Amino acid sequence: DTAHGGILYLEDITVSFDGFRALNKLSLNIAAGELRCIIGPNGAGKTTMMDVITGKTRPDAGSAFFGSTIDLLRLRESQVASIGIGRKFQKPSVFEQLTVFENLELALKADRRPRAAVFARLSGAQLDRIGEILTLIHLKGEAQRLAGLLSHGQKQWLEIGMLLMQDPKLLLLDEPVAGMTDEETERTAQLFVSLQGAHSLVVVEHDMKFIDELTRDDPAKKVTVLHEGSVLAEGSLAQVQANDKVVEVYLGR
């Protein structure tokens, strides 16, 4: 609850698909402003967890709260963005025929009355906001470029920028650096680290080098390991990497 400064509370979430438990009493608490990395082998339940948070999948049991008052299990997927949750799927989805700037402009107006808003002129504050985001996502020099001409990594950044236009409290990011170069991966880590505090971030990731970069500013930063639908280990990166159960799951079979 807010007394503890939390933003996301999952408790004993269970999801079954035809008797198979994709999530098995999963509990997870994220503090406001926290950047949490979630790792785990294929099939561990990472995607299903994101689907529960965003109302795409309804659990069979358990509870999920956003802050102390919003019951996520009562919301539809279409309502989740409006309470301040932004989700980024693995594949970038930007409007390729529009410029970078226009993509951000559209994202800014997306939550407003459609027709009137799309043709309304941007206010000075809105223009400033787009400028800030362009700098943050390393695309200041590409504002007038068609999004379709960007590199894969730049498209990922643009999509993150589009999410940021809605100023989400919580960002859910599913393998955000898949397919990125080493340099892009490092810049993405810097971007996420700069967003923590003002936003909470849950990052699902396989790439250990990326997790290392995300936790470098604070070696005590928590990493959660999922396995067979529940939390196998939670602690600093060093702690989970030294955990026997984690080593076994990753290397032992």
Which C-beta is closer to ligand ADP: that of 16 or that of 243? 16
By CB under 6 A, the residues from 70 to 99 that bind ligand ADP are none
Backbone angles phi, psi at 238, to 5 degrees: -60, -40
Pairing of strands 35-39, 230-235: unpaired
Half-sphere exposure of 186 (CA within 13 A, CB side): 3
Residue 45 makes contact with ligand ADP by CB under 6 A? yes
Residue 40 makes contact with ligand ADP by CB under 6 A? yes
Residue 219 makes contact with ligand ADP by CB under 6 A? no
Tell me the site size for ligand ADP, rule CB under 6 A: 10
Which C-beta is closer to ligand ADP: that of 150 or that of 233? 233
Report CA 210 to chain centroid distance, whole Å: 14
Residue 148 makes contact with ligand ADP by CB under 6 A? no
Sign of the torsion angle spanned by Cα atoms 106, 109, 114, 116: negative
Residue 222 makes contact with ligand ADP by CB under 6 A? no
Name the segment binding ligand ADP (CB under 6 A); options: 5-13, 42-50, 112-120, 195-203: 42-50
Which C-beta is closer to ligand ADP: that of 90 or that of 166? 90
Residue 60 makes contact with ligand ADP by CB under 6 A? no
Residue 58 makes contact with ligand ADP by CB under 6 A? no
Residue 48 makes contact with ligand ADP by CB under 6 A? yes
Please identify which residue in 43, 148, 197, 219 interacts with ligand ADP, judged by CB under 6 A.
Answer: 43
Residue 176 makes contact with ligand ADP by CB under 6 A? no
Please identify which residue in 47, 154, 156, 200 interacts with ligand ADP, judged by CB under 6 A.
Answer: 47
Nearest distance from C-beta of residue 173 to ligand ADP, angstroms: 13
Residue 44 makes contact with ligand ADP by CB under 6 A? yes
By CB under 6 A, the residues from 9 to 38 that bind ligand ADP are 17, 22
Interacting residues with ligand ADP (CB under 6 A): 17, 22, 40, 42-48
